[in-house]
């Protein structure tokens, strides 16, 4: 029994962490909103099939990382490892095809049984968007722009790089697949056990491997980009022209892939060198075959997801600080309940106020210091007799008497 310990790979957000975390989420939503996204909230668990059908049974997530359990009704349930599958399921079960094009934003916890390390957790959080119903490369341009403007709004533009690649259409991938299988088969002895299995079931997946020996083989592998057909090349060119027109810098990264069959054309990642080996902060791609694969109407889609923990680490001090409170300090014979009434009135006027039920004046001022309060409102016997309060600026030490009735107005509004 692990006792009162957090489960490995989970963590608590204390108030100062939460401010950063919420700032990342709120910024993502504000920017997505400007691009026309509304928020969808799907359950954090789904039938296991929702994920096995969408992620494919050769993906790392499905083979190693899912939190799956049988519920009391005998159903196989999985805590969501990512957001797209749930959105696609909601699209199908909710009959949302009649509302296309659809632009959906989501946020919330995701669960993956991974080896925990800095920036890699078992419960982590993502924000993400899905743009359903357009097969134009300009939709890809807009989706990537949304991600870029989001990172820019977090103050991260100079810390990130956009890497971009094309996976082409089905015909291009089929042609490439043959070439790739021939190459990998020639280097079978150097591939990991996992990759040998992938080679049979989904060779493109091998390109995603993080195994060092695999990486060495992959580094010499033929490139998908050399096998794109005319239509795929045109799509990729239009995407790049669009990003250039919007002033979004990118680098084509010919080895960037997503190994699932229904991924096509665009794959992209925003990476940083400031987070050690967990450097991908936002990743996405086009998945035109996904919804049909799940049994829904054929619907093109493109989206991305970003890791909130990694982004709050990266954005660090750029998040707004907690509001600095005002403290109300009853002194002498001034009744605490009167101080409580005043504190409550100030809160109703929009201020953040601290007024503990007990404590000497000295202790109260110490606590005010600890809270980083900006003002103390002190009412002692003298002030009480005059119907006034002493307002002390805790930064400058300057103090002045203010009539009680004027207090809510006189204190600068919270901000």
List interacting residues with ligand ATP (CB under 6 A): 82, 112, 114, 119-121, 124, 126, 278, 280-281, 283, 305-307, 309-310
Question: 3-state class of 213 per DSSP?
Answer: helix
Closest contact distance (angstroms) between CB of 309 and ligand ATP is 5
Nearer to ligand ATP, 112 or 173 (CB): 112
Q: What stretch of H or E contains 264?
A: strand 264-272
Give bridge partners of residue 128 from the DSSP assignment: 106, 305
Nearer to ligand ATP, 112 or 265 (CB): 112
Token pair, residue 320, equals 């707004």
Neighbours of 17 (CB within 10 A): 14
| Residue whose C-alpha is closest to residue 263's, from 202, 221, 218, 210 | 202
Nearer to ligand ATP, 148 or 334 (CB): 148
Token pair, residue 99, equals 């509302």
Angle between helix axes 84-93 and 48-55 (nearest 10 degrees) is 110
Closest contact distance (angstroms) between CB of 104 and ligand ATP is 16
Closest contact distance (angstroms) between CB of 106 and ligand ATP is 12
Nearer to ligand ATP, 301 or 307 (CB): 307
Nearer to ligand ATP, 285 or 330 (CB): 285
Closest contact distance (angstroms) between CB of 401 and ligand ATP is 53
Closest contact distance (angstroms) between CB of 32 and ligand ATP is 16
Query: Taking CB positions, which residue lies at the least distance from ligand ATP?
Result: 307
Q: Is 349 exposed, middle or buried (0-12, 13-18, 19+ CB in 10 A)?
A: middle
DSSP summary character for residue 274: S
Contacts made by residues 344-349, CB under 8 angstroms, sequence distance 24+: 345/407, 345/408, 346/377, 346/407, 346/408, 346/411, 348/408, 349/408, 349/409, 349/411, 349/413
Token pair, residue 282, equals 């936002």
Q: CA 126 to CA 282: how far, in whole Å?
A: 9
Closest contact distance (angstroms) between CB of 114 and ligand ATP is 5
Nearer to ligand ATP, 134 or 272 (CB): 272
Nearer to ligand ATP, 124 or 334 (CB): 124
Nearer to ligand ATP, 84 or 166 (CB): 84
Place of tokens 């088969």: 185
Closest contact distance (angstroms) between CB of 6 and ligand ATP is 15
| Residue whose C-alpha is closest to residue 32's, from 82, 116, 106 | 106
Closest contact distance (angstroms) between CB of 134 and ligand ATP is 21
């Amino acid at each position: 029994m692990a006792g009162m310990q957090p489960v490995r790979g989970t963590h608590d957000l204390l108030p100062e962490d939460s401010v950063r975390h919420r700032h990342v989420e709120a910024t993502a939503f504000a920017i997505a909103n400007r691009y026309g996204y509304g928020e969808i909230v799907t359950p954090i668990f789904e039938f296991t099939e929702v994920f096995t059908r969408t992620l494919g049974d050769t993906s790392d997530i499905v083979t190693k990382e899912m939190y799956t359990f049988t519920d009391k009704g005998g159903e196989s349930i999985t805590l969501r490892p990512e957001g797209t599958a749930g959105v696609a399921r909601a699209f199908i079960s909710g009959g949302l095809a009649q509302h296309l094009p659809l632009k959906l934003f989501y946020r919330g916890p995701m669960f993956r049984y991974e080896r925990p390390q800095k920036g890699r957790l078992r419960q982590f959080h993502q924000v993400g968007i899905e743009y359903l119903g357009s097969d134009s490369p300009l939709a890809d341009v807009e989706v990537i722009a949304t991600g870029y403007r989001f990172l820019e709004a977090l103050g991260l533009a100079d810390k990130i790089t956009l890497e971009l690649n094309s996976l082409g259409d089905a015909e291009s991938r089929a042609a490439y697949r043959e070439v790739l299988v021939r190459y990998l088969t020639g280097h079978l002895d150097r591939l990991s056990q996992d990759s040998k299995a992938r080679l049979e079931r989904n060779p493109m997946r091998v390109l995603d491997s993080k195994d060092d020996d695999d990486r060495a083989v992959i580094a010499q592998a033929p490139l998908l980009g050399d096998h794109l057909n005319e239509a795929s090349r045109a799509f990729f060119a239009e995407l790049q022209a669009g990003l250039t027109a919007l002033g979004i810098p990118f680098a084509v990264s010919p080895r960037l892939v997503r190994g699932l069959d229904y991924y096509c054309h665009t794959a992209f990642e925003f990476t940083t060198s400031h987070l050690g080996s967990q450097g991908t902060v936002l990743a996405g791609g086009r998945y035109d075959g996904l919804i049909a694969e799940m049994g829904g109407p054929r619907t093109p889609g493109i989206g991305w997801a970003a890791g909130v923990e990694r982004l709050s680490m990266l954005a660090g001090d750029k998040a707004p600080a907690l509001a600095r409170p005002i403290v109300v300090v009853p002194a002498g014979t001034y009744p605490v309940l009167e101080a409580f009434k005043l504190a409550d009135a100030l809160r109703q006027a929009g201020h953040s106020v601290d007024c503990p039920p007990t404590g000497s004046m000295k202790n109260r001022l110490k606590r005010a210091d600890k809270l980083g309060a900006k003002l103390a409102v002190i009412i002692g016997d003298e002030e009480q007799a005059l119907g006034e309060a002493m307002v002390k600026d805790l930064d400058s030490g300057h103090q002045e008497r203010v009539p009680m009735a004027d207090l809510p107005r006189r204190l600068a509004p919270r901000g």
